[in-house]
Amino acid sequence: MREPVHSFTHEAMTTTFEVIIAGQEHAYARQASAAVFREVERINNLLNKYDAGSDIGQVNLLKADERVRVSIETLECLEKAIWAYHISGGLFDPTIGTGFHELVVDRSTFSVGWKKGGKGEIDLGGIGKGFAIDKAAEILKDWGVDKVVINGGTSTVLARGKEWDLGVGGPWGTKAGFTSVHLKNQALSGSGTEVKGAHIINPKTGKPATRHLAAWAIHPSAATADALSTAFMMMAPEKIKLLCAANPGTVAFVVAPDESLIKIGV
Amino acid sequence: MELNRTQFMQTAAAAGTLLATTKARAVENAKLAAKKNPDQLNIALIGAGAQGRILTESCLKIPGIRFIAICDIWDYSQRYSQRYLKKYGHEVNVYEDYQELIATEKDKLDAVVIASPDWMHAEHANACMNAGLHVYSEKEMSNSLEKAASMVHTAAATGQLLQIGHQRRSNPRYIHAIEKLIHEVGLIGTVTNATAQWNRAKTEDLGWPKKYEMGADTLAKYGYNSMTEFRNWRWYKKYGGGPIVDLGSHQIDLFEWIWGVNPKSVIASGGVDYYPNHEWYDNVMCIYEYDTPDGMARAYYETLTTTGHRGFSEAFRGVNGTIEIAEVPQRGNSALREAHAPDWQPYAEKGLINSVAAPIAKTTTKNVAVDVRVTAEAGAWPLPVELTKPAHQPHLENFFNAIRYGTPLNCPGEKGYETAVAVLAVNRAVASGQRIEFNPSDFHA
């Protein structure tokens, strides 16, 4: 018998978050989803670059050689971004080429800032939604809600607790025959040219990413999947293969310019 | 740009300049300074719920503040805060009973931050001050004026500092708008009216994780009738004051700051219109009158919890213009010039406001004697000061600077009491359907 599910939505981070919960009563699922959305708002208040009082807003206002104390969550998210930056050869770059290598993240003083040489402008749009999903999923452990899908505006989705059959939207997926995926304790994130046109800027060239038509990344962490899908849009398939091999649990689906589907790590 | 005292303190602290002056001041005020070590103030948190967490996050960004204990009656909140603080290297002792916390920790503590439900503020704050500890208490001071007054009396009797959490009073954007632009420069002329609102879309009652449900015994021991009432205490008369107090208090507090006087009367309407299981009014509208040195002024306030229309913001309306402002700048951060007002460009040149594109230009229409049109639309001149910190941080910094250096508090208990008198009267006005007249003596605890 199919288990009934309850779904709830919330506007945040300029998109619609959705929580789908199985195995709980509706009222309890609704309260738990409200706790999820509160956590998403809390993370947004730390990472929102448009708010001068947020952690990232403050970091962007700093000059070279200045530091500011930030929250532990901002440190964690930036550390993950730095990892993705290095592992992608600089193609995942939250400063879009303006100086991510100048960033200093100092755990011992809970501070973030810039080296003496210069500074960049951080936009965590390529990882923040996934990071908020990971954090929100931690809250649900307290609630005893284990079978859940958390969806950040259809670009990043985390599926927990059972095997979820999820649709993969978009014209390139359909054309390439990639329309659904089974996930359990994994996140899927997609980047492509169909939703906003070619909106990913290659930090190396300053031009829109055009290597692939679309790319998806699967990883246990939604933040990691979010960052990798952006990087995969710009990475050669051989490089993606190396990355997936070096990081067990990472899977990539890429739609090449000839509309063929390349599967890596499956 | 000339900086006022608060901005000066913040700039100095942020830039790390004038350290020598600051240190000298600390020595001068040695008696006011922290009991143990001004470089590290030891603090405790009583009430580790949603608001307590916001204050905790802000405290952790202020150098030299160390949590050594937390207290909450709910083990879920205890666990959350203890774990959160541990990530920052703050190992805290955890208490269910605040009296035990005070008895055990008072010799190590400098100050306590109180973010418990409103009805417990006075009991918690008074006990802390009586134990020789400075107190930052969330607003509203209490849902009972008698209890609120007791906090002012205790602060006076013990000499301890008591800061009330009307954090806009320490926000450099509000200080610039009110003290600089309105009071000092007179940018918008005589302020005859103010309006403010805090409206929220309908929400469900808060729930709780099943495995952390408190037992009936524990709830009863601390005075809560049920888990639902504990989680949603703001809606119940025993514990809180409803939306006019939770939301309105922050903004109604500004009216006194603008005009320098407390209201002379209030009329109000409201009711339990939408949420049948709540006790407090979900929609409230009220009008205050202020007998100011410049003449009569009126302020309209509404808090609606069934629609998010217009969100939260304040407008101070003078004869020469209006300042629209909100704690979140995207919701309000500009001065609007009346068409007849003196040129504002000189103020922009001094950096007091930012200049904007000219308002809609007057055009000439050919072959007509008179061009009849509405008053030219006011141009919006953005305010130049940003708050580059979380909203509560400057108010906490002001409190800690008061302990360390003798900096005056931006919202001492006396000021918080005045606002409590004005705000709590709205609920009485709604209940009675009567206009409430205030005597100036009503505002003295």
SS3 readout for chain B: CCCCHHHHHHHHHHHCCCHHHHHHHHHHCCCCCCCCCCCCEEEEEECCCHHHHHHHHHHCCCCCEEEEEEECCCHHHHHHHHHHHHHCCCCCEEECCHHHHHHHHCCCCCEEEECCCHHHHHHHHHHHHHCCCEEEECCCCCCCHHHHHHHHHHHHHHCCCEEECCHHHHCHHHHHHHHHHHHHHCCCCCEEEEEEEEECCCCCCCCCCHHHCCCHHHHHHCCCCCHHHHHCHHHCCCCCCCHHHHHHHHHHHHHHHHHCCCCCEEEEEEECCCCCCCCCCCEEEEEEEEEECCEEEEEEEEEECCCCCCCEEEEEEECCEEEEECCCHHHCEEEEECCCCCCCHHHHHCCCCCCCCCCCCCCCCCCCCCCCCCCCCCCEEECCCCCCCCCCHHHHHHHHHHHHHCCCCCCEHHHHHHHHHHHHHHHHHHHHCCCEECCHHHHCC
Report the pLDDT value the prediction gives residue B5, as an integer from 0 to 100.
42
B387 near A CB under 8 A: yes
Q: Give the mean pLDDT of A13-31.
A: 95
8 Å CB contact of B76 and A142: yes
Query: Counting Cβ atoms within 10 Å, is residue B339 exposed (0-12), middle (13-18) or buried (19+)?
Result: middle
Lowest mean pLDDT among A18-32, B262-276, B355-369: B355-369
B57 near A CB under 8 A: yes
8 Å CB contact of B210 and A28: yes
User: For residue B424, which of B273, B275, B252 has the smallest C-alpha distance?
Assistant: B252
Degrees, nearest 5: CA angle B87-B93-B95: 120
| B235 pLDDT higher than 80 | yes
Report the residue from B87, B204, B390 with minimal CB separation from A72: B87
Listed in sequence order, the residues at least 6 apart from B14 whose beta carbon sits closer than 8 Å to its beta carbon are none
8 Å CB contact of B204 and A31: yes
Report the pLDDT value the prediction gives residue B36, as an integer from 0 to 100.
58
Q: Give the mean pLDDT of B131-155.
A: 98
Are B285 and B302 in contact by the 8 Å Cβ rule? The answer is: yes
Report the pLDDT value the prediction gives residue A10, as an integer from 0 to 100.
95
Residues of chain B positioned with their CB less than 8 A from the CB of A50: 330
Instruction: Using alpha carbons, list the distances in angstroms from residue A250 to A89, A91, A150, A243, A246.
Output: 17, 17, 19, 8, 9
| B181 pLDDT higher than 80 | yes
Residues of chain B positioned with their CB less than 8 A from the CB of A70: 61
How far apart are the CA of B393 and the nearest CA of chain A, in angstroms?
10
Q: What is the ipTM of this complex?
A: 0.91
How far apart are the CA of A88 and the nearest CA of chain B, in angstroms?
29
Assign residue B343 a region (left: φ > 0; alpha: ψ between -120 and 50; beta: otherwise).
Answer: beta
Write down the residue that tokens 């004026």 correspond to.
Answer: B145
Specify the length of chain B in residues.
445
Six-digit token string for A206: 């300053």
Are B102 and B223 in contact by the 8 Å Cβ rule? The answer is: no
Interface test with B, best of A49, A69, A108, A139 (most B CBs within 10 A): A69
pLDDT tens for B394-436 read 999 999 999 999 999 999 999 999 999 999 999 999 999 999 9
Domain contains B131: yes
| A99 pLDDT higher than 70 | yes
Write down the residue that tokens 């923040």 correspond to.
Answer: A128
Average model confidence (pLDDT) across chain B:
90
pLDDT tens for A219-251 read 999 999 999 999 999 999 999 999 999 999 999
Are B220 and B152 in contact by the 8 Å Cβ rule? The answer is: no
Domain contains B147: yes
Task: Place A202 in a pLDDT band, splitting at 50, 70 and 90.
Answer: confident
Longest CA span, chain A? 62
Interface test with B, best of A37, A38, A45, A62 (most B CBs within 10 A): A45
A65 near B CB under 8 A: no
Residues of chain A positioned with their CB less than 8 A from the CB of B90: none
* Cα dihedral A175/A177/A179/A184 (nearest 10): -140
Domain contains B311: no
Looking at per-residue confidence, does B72 or B20 come out higher? B72
Q: State how far the Cα of A52 lies from the Cα of A60, in Å rounded to an integer.
A: 8
Counted domains in chain B:
1
A72 near B CB under 8 A: yes
Six-digit token string for A16: 């619609």
Report the residue from B76, B203, B387 with minimal CB separation from A53: B387
| B6 pLDDT higher than 50 | no
Residues of chain A positioned with their CB less than 8 A from the CB of B206: 31, 34
Are A71 and A55 in contact by the 8 Å Cβ rule? The answer is: yes
Domain CATH number, residue B129: 3.40.50.720
How far apart are the CA of A31 and the nearest CA of chain B, in angstroms?
5
Are A219 and A254 in contact by the 8 Å Cβ rule? The answer is: no
**Nearest chain B alpha carbon to A60:** B388
| B367 pLDDT higher than 70 | no
B13 near A CB under 8 A: no
Per the structure, the complete domain to which residue B45 belongs is given by 5-169
Q: State how far the Cα of B298 lies from the Cα of A78, in Å rounded to an integer.
A: 49
Task: Place B7 in a pLDDT band, splitting at 50, 70 and 90.
Answer: very low
Q: Give the mean pLDDT of A24-28.
A: 96
B441 near A CB under 8 A: no
Instruction: Report helix angle A128-142 to A26-47, nearest 10.
Output: 140
Residues of chain B positioned with their CB less than 8 A from the CB of A69: 60-61, 63
- Within the 202-231 window of chain A, which residues sit less than 8 Å (CB to CB) from chain B? none
A51 near B CB under 8 A: yes
8 Å CB contact of A144 and B209: yes
Are B219 and B226 in contact by the 8 Å Cβ rule? The answer is: yes
A31 near B CB under 8 A: yes
Residues of chain A positioned with their CB less than 8 A from the CB of B201: none
Are B128 and B102 in contact by the 8 Å Cβ rule? The answer is: yes
- The β-bridge relationship of strands A251-255 and A261-264 is antiparallel
Q: Which one of 3.60.15.10, 3.10.520.10, 3.40.1800.10, 3.20.20.70 gives the CATH number of domain A5-23+146-264?
A: 3.10.520.10
Residues in a beta bridge with B270: B284
A53 near B CB under 8 A: yes
pLDDT tens for A122-166 read 999 999 999 999 999 999 999 999 999 999 987 899 999 999 998
Q: State how far the Cα of A208 lies from the Cα of A204, in Å rounded to an integer.
A: 10
Backbone angles phi, psi at B303, to 5 degrees: -130, 120
Domain contains B65: yes
